């Protein structure tokens, strides 16, 4: 609007054009709400069409347009990400399904039956799932009356029966039957032992229904799954003593069956595990300020006659705002991978390695956004733990070599210098020595972070190891605070550009992961329904459907000869190039010509179009491929030597596809068009290439 005053102008990168703040907001809103927004994308260019300026940066827009407009544009970016993820997931799953179909076609009947039996055992027996929606579950919190988080089904953890909305009655009865008590609660060991016996009984009952040869092959295919469940496979030499042939639990210390199940099922996220905290040999008691933690579930080292272990909190004690019953929640939930540490001569290497791994867990714990305390920060962690476990057991690389590397250590890290009794809302909740410069308050107005600490807080959330499992929400760093999460659209004004880009990448990964899960779930459900439907057909109907699928996908659909990507548009040049794989191919004969198809296009143009020029009209292209498709369909029917009833059923199934192409259906019931030599050769090459 030329009449707009130059208030808060937004210049393009060439500095030749600008928009006032109101018009720029309308410009961005128009991009985010136009009808073809998904096709045209979410980029915000200069509104002057011939301008060669770069697009406006999305992370600068929250400071330039209204919150409603930036949310509309962010929704468009999310839809673009979801759409791309859906396409990628569907393409990958279709390719996997095609490879699986080719592989299964090469198996004999006995092998196919054994694979189907193994799939049934793994998915229906070994995997614990909700009885209503079939969603797998792996965790157990002690109560045998479970509720599905997806469909709300209440079911019993003993018998896995759908109990409607409440499973406490069934859990009490089954507890009396299987556990010897009518109480609802039990231990993880009871749960695992019961389902180990239950699975074994169900597997044995199912294997009895299989033929002997199929049963033997099924056992071989399931051997790794049985080992993952802790069952010792029965070997030939075990038949000497049948008493030893019973399945026994494995004693591997690092064996986690539910993690193997999660990997096998392709589940997302992390499998919850009990706390595993820092350890040290008895005799090296922690200093007075440190306190014992009484929530150890699984000691790291107990085997091979190692010295007894004690548990210590190296962070100077549990913070005041963490209640006694919440200690377990603030401990690390999974082990961290570690490189071999420098070995202290007083302890042997494996003790040192265990301590090193536990140190890394504490370091990860300190880095978790909602576990920061007034006494803990990442730079001081190396010194604190080195003092706790003693000597040089902590690598020097974990301790800052100079206080100047971190401004919070310039005062020696002495938090005691801060006056006692200072209220929470008077100091930065992350580093008490921080000045109150540009504070970022949580929604309760009880806690704040200085600008530097808030930037570190957001960066830790965006870069932590389990960021996909824990999400991109930015909460108040005080764990018990009930404040709302910080709004993402306010963050660009509060943190650095690099940090907000890291968090935006995490949000994009979350969106892609959710879209992948949704697409995979939908395609798996479609594949399952299709398998059930095809199982109800007779052999003639299956042959006709396979023939129809081949005709539609291989003949009627024009595709790149190399990567099989379909194409529909034609711009006039018969020398085409695939936008996905770069293959150059001829639009007349669809032959892979390497990098350049102009020579083949000229020859085929002379043969089919009467001219050796590369260009033609859309009408020539459509008429040529209509004849070509018709001839290839009849050539396929002849060379496949399909029975007459299958051919007639195939034509009936393809009737709508033929009508969509503008072919009179009557000719396919009465007339057999002649096959030209070139189309017969192409059809024969197609048959030899990769049919079915």
pLDDT in the model for residue 5: 58
Q: Where would I find the H helices in 231-340?
A: 257-265
Distance CA 530, CA 314 (A): 58
Task: State the pLDDT at residue 182.
Answer: 62
**Residue written as tokens 């100077």?**
316
Would you list the domain boundaries of the chain?
Answer: 1-106, 108-237+247-265, 279-413+440-507, 539-690
User: pLDDT higher for 7 or 668?
Assistant: 7
Bigger pLDDT: 68 vs 669: 68
Of 69, 82, 209, 189, whose CA–CA distance to 140 is shortest?
189
- Which long-range contacts does 378-382 make (Cβ < 8 Å, 24+ apart)? 379/405, 379/406, 379/408, 379/409, 379/413, 380/409, 380/413, 381/315
Mapped to the 3 state alphabet, what secondary structure does 560-603 carry? CCCCCCECCCCCCECEEECCCCCCEEECCCCCECCCCCHHHHHH
Strand partners, 102: none
Q: What is the mean pLDDT of the chain?
A: 68
In this model, does residue 611 exceed pLDDT 80? Answer: no
Q: 147 Cβ partners below 8 Å, 6+ apart?
A: 153, 154, 155, 167
The lowest-confidence range among 136-145, 304-313, 359-368 is 304-313
| Residue 491, Cβ density class (10 Å: 0-12 exposed, 13-18 middle, ≥19 buried) | buried
- pLDDT band, very low/low/confident/very high, at 1 (cuts 50, 70, 90): low
Q: Which of 356, 351, 326 is nearest to 339 (CA)?
A: 356
Which residues, at least 6 apart from 597, have a Cβ–Cβ distance to it below 8 Å? 574, 575, 576, 577, 584, 585, 586, 587, 591
Residue 311: strand pairing partners: 279
Q: How far apart are CA 363 and CA 491, in angstroms?
A: 26
Close Cβ partners of 603 (under 8 Å, ≥ 6 residues apart): 612
At residue 244, the 3 state secondary structure works out as helix
Distance CA 211, CA 110 (A): 9
pLDDT for 4: 59
Whether 150 shows a pLDDT value over 70: the answer reads yes
Q: Is a pLDDT exceeding 70 seen at residue 631?
A: yes
Q: In the predicted model, is pLDDT for residue 99 greater than 70?
A: yes
In this structure, what DSSP letter does residue 294 have? -
Residue 675 confidence (pLDDT): 40
The residue assigned the tokens 């018990």 is 480
For residue 683, count CB atoms less than 10 angstroms from its CB and return exposed for 0-12, middle for 13-18, buried for 19 or more.
buried
Q: Are strands 575-577 and 448-449 parallel, antiparallel or unpaired?
A: unpaired
| Confidence (pLDDT) at 284 | 34
User: H or E element: which one contains 441?
Assistant: strand 440-441
Dihedral angle of Cα 526, 530, 531, 532, to the nearest 10 degrees:
100
More confident residue, 283 or 351: 351
What is the Cα–Cα distance from 666 to 671, expressed in whole angstroms?
A: 8
> Which of residues 478 and 508 earns the better pLDDT score?
508
Out of 1.10.3470, 3.90.25, 3.15.30, 3.30.40, which CATH number does the structure's domain 1-106 have? Answer: 3.30.40
Element (H, E) at 378: helix 378-389
Q: Which residue has the higher pLDDT, 403 or 68?
A: 68
The residue among 488, 512, 513 whose CA lies nearest residue 501 is 488
Say what percent of the chain tops pLDDT 70: 63
At a CB cut-off of 8 Å and minimum separation 6, what does 331 contact?
Answer: 275, 276, 277, 293, 295, 365
3-state secondary structure of 310: strand
Q: How many other CB atoms are found less than 10 A from the CB of residue 207?
A: 16
Are 669 and 651 in contact by the 8 Å Cβ rule? The answer is: yes
pLDDT of the residue at 350: 52
Note the pLDDT of residue 246: 39
Higher pLDDT, 686 or 190: 190
pLDDT band at 254 (very low <50, low <70, confident <90, very high): very low
Q: How far apart are alpha carbons 427 and 314 in whole angstroms?
A: 24
Q: Summarize the confidence of residues 647-659 as an average pLDDT.
A: 82
**SS3 for 136?**
strand
C-alpha distances in Å from residue 403, one per residue of 127, 202, 406, 457, 614: 52, 63, 6, 20, 71
* Confidence at residue 570, expressed as pLDDT on a 0 to 100 scale: 83
In angstroms, the CA 265 to CA 242 distance is: 33
Question: Average pLDDT for residues 471-493, to the nearest whole number?
Answer: 82
Task: Answer yes or no: are the C-beta atoms of 527 and 612 closer than 8 Å.
Answer: no
Say whether pLDDT at 571 is over 70.
yes
Taking only the tens place, the pLDDT of each residue in 115-127 is: 889 888 988 888 8
Q: Considering the chain, what percentage of its residues have pLDDT values greater than 90?
A: 0
**pLDDT single digits (tens) 454-471:** 888 888 888 887 788 888
- Read off the pTM: 0.43
User: Around 526, how many Cα atoms within 13 Å sit in the side-chain half-sphere?
Assistant: 10
User: pLDDT category, 653, cuts 50, 70, 90?
Assistant: confident
What is the band of 396 on the pLDDT scale with cuts at 50, 70, 90?
Answer: very low
Span 538-566, pLDDT tens digits: 888 888 888 888 888 888 888 888 888 88
How large is the average pLDDT for residues 33-54?
81
pLDDT at residue 439, as a whole number: 64
The encoded tokens of residue 638 equal: 């002849």
Q: Is the pLDDT of residue 394 over 70?
A: no
Is residue 404's pLDDT more than 60?
no
């Amino acid at each position: 609007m030329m009449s707009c005053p130059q208030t808060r102008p937004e210049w393009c990168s060439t500095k030749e054009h600008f928009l006032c703040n109101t018009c720029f907001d309308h410009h961005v809103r128009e991009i985010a709400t136009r009808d073809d927004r998904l096709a045209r994308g979410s980029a915000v260019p200069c509104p002057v069409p011939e301008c060669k300026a770069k697009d406006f940066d999305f992370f600068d827009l929250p400071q330039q347009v209204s919150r409603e407009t930036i949310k509309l544009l962010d929704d468009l970016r999310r839809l673009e990400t979801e759409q791309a993820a859906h396409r990628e997931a569907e393409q990958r799953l279709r390719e996997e399904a095609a490879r699986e179909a080719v592989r299964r076609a090469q198996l004999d009947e006995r092998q196919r039956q054994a694979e189907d039996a193994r799939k049934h055992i793994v998915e229906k027996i070994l995997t614990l799932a909700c009885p209503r929606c079939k969603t797998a579950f792996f965790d157990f919190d002690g109560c045998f009356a479970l509720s599905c988080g997806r469909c709300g089904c209440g079911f019993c953890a003993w018998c896995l029966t759908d109990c409607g909305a409440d499973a406490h009655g069934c859990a009490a009865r089954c507890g009396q039957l299987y556990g010897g008590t009518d109480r609802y609660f039990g231990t993880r060991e009871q749960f695992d032992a019961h389902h180990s016996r239950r699975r074994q009984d169900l597997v044995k009952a199912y294997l009895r229904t299989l033929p002997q040869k199929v049963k033997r092959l099924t056992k071989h295919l399931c051997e790794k799954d049985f080992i993952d469940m802790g069952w010792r496979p029965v070997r030939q030499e075990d038949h000497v003593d049948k008493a030893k042939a019973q399945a026994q639990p494995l004693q591997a210390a690092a064996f986690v069956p539910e993690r193997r199940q999660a990997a096998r099922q392709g589940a997302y996220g992390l499998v919850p595990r009990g706390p595993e905290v820092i350890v040290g040999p008895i005799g090296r008691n922690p200093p007075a300020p440190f306190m014992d933690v009484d929530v150890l579930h699984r000691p790291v080292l107990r085997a091979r006659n190692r010295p007894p272990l004690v548990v210590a909190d190296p962070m100077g004690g549990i913070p005041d705002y963490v209640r006694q019953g919440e200690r377990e929640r603030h401990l690390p939930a999974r082990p961290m991978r570690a490189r071999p540490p420098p070995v202290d001569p007083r302890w042997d290497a494996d003790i040192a390695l265990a301590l090193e791994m536990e140190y890394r867990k504490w370091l990860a714990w300190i880095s978790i956004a909602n576990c920061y305390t007034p006494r803990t920060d990442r730079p001081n962690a190396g010194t604190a733990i080195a003092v706790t476990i003693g000597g040089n057991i902590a690598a020097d690389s974990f301790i800052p070599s100079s206080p100047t590397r971190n401004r919070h250590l310039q005062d020696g890290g002495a938090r005691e210098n801060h006056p006692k009794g200072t209220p929470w809302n008077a100091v930065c909740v992350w580093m008490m020595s921080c000045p109150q410069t540009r504070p970022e308050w949580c929604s309760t107005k009880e806690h704040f972070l200085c600008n530097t600490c808030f930037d570190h807080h957001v960066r830790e959330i965006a870069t932590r190891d389990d960021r996909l499992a824990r999400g991109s929400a930015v909460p108040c760093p005080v764990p018990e605070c009930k404040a709302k999460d910080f709004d993402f659209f306010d963050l660009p004004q509060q943190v650095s550009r690099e940090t907000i880009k890291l968090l935006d990448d995490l949000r994009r990964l979350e969106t892609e992961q959710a879209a992948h899960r949704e697409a995979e779930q939908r395609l798996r459900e479609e594949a399952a329904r299709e398998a059930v439907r095809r199982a109800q057909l007779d052999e003639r109907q299956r042959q006709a459907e396979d023939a129809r699928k081949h005709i539609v996908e291989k003949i009627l659909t024009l595709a790149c000869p190399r990567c099989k990507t379909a194409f529909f548009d034609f711009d006039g040049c018969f020398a085409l190039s695939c936008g996905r794989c770069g293959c150059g191919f001829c639009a007349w004969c669809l032959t892979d010509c390497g990098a350049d198809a102009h020579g083949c296009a000229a020859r085929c143009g002379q043969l089919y179009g009467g001219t050796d020029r590369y260009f033609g009209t859309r009408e020539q292209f459509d008429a040529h491929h209509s004849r070509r498709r018709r001839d290839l369909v009849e050539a396929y029917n002849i060379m496949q030597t399909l029975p007459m009833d299958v051919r007639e059923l195939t034509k009936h199934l393809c009737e709508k596809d033929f009508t969509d192409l503008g072919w009179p259906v009557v000719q396919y019931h009465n007339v057999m068009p002649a096959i030209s030599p070139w189309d017969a050769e192409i059809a024969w090459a197609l048959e030899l290439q990769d049919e079915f």
